[in-house]
């Protein structure tokens, strides 16, 4: 199964089972996935903003969390583990209602117990407005029968 199809299936599982993501990020679109890399975008709506009518920091933090999970999924884990650390640096406002935001996430380190991810957020003009990192404990996630880790392991990491 290609990485994009698998990551989208994990996103659909979040949308079907989670309490937060379908309410806040339902319109998020996964646009690209390869082992260890995911891109997504979101059109800013009222529910994504603060009282200044700009993108809410909590929305960005939620996307760091989800983005880290999707980056882990891009390595073949359907159950994407649990958060142990999450960090966000806000560089500028990110936009207002009607603006498009884009994100690029990488799975920087993928081990048997931990996964480390980083994310960059850009405006539609490709100006970075925030960045983040997300660490996940994934030891239990390796047991999920829906995993396709072997299929999504980059060739450079496969043992001959």
CATH code of residue 9? 3.10.129.10
Residue 155 domain flag: no
Residues 6+ apart with CB under 8 A from 100: 41, 42, 43, 44, 123, 124
Q: Where in the sequence is the domain holding 56, given as residue range(s)?
A: 3-148
Residue 154 domain flag: no
Residue 48 domain flag: yes
Reading the block at residue 48, the tokens are 């994504």
Mean pLDDT of 128-154: 94
Q: Is residue 54 classed as helix, strand or coil in its secondary structure?
A: strand
pLDDT tens across 57-107, in order?
Answer: 999 999 999 999 999 999 999 999 999 999 999 999 999 999 999 999 999
Does residue 146 carry a pLDDT above 80? yes
Residue 153 domain flag: no
Residue 160 domain flag: no
User: pLDDT tier at 156 (50, 70, 90 boundaries)?
Assistant: confident
Residue 75 domain flag: yes
Select from 85, 72, 33, 64 the least CA-distant residue to 129: 64
Average pLDDT across the chain, whole number: 95
Number of domains in the chain: 1
Residue 159 domain flag: no
User: pLDDT tier at 153 (50, 70, 90 boundaries)?
Assistant: confident
Reading the block at residue 120, the tokens are 């960059």
Q: Which residues pair with 82 in a beta bridge?
A: 137
User: pLDDT at position 154, please?
Assistant: 76
Mean pLDDT of 154-160: 69
Mean pLDDT of 37-45: 98
Residue 9 domain flag: yes
| pTM for the structure as a whole | 0.94
């Amino acid at each position: 199964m290609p990485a994009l199809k698998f990551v989208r299936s994990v996103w659909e599982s979040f949308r079907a089972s989670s309490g937060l993501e379908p309410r806040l990020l339902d319109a998020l679109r996964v646009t690209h996935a390869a082992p260890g890399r995911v891109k997504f975008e979101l059109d800013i709506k009222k529910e994504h903003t603060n009282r200044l009518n700009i993108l809410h920091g909590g929305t960005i933090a939620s996307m760091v969390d989800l983005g880290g999970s999707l980056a882990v999924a891009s390595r073949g884990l359907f159950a994407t583990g649990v958060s142990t650390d999450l960090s966000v640096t806000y560089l500028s406002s990110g936009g207002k209602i009607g603006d498009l935001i884009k994100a690029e996430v990488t799975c920087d380190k993928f081990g048997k117990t931990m996964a480390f991810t980083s994310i960059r957020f850009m405006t539609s003009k490709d100006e970075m407005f925030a960045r983040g990192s997300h660490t996940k404990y994934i030891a239990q996630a390796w047991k999920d029968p829906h995993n396709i880790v072997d299929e999504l392991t980059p060739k450079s990491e496969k043992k001959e």
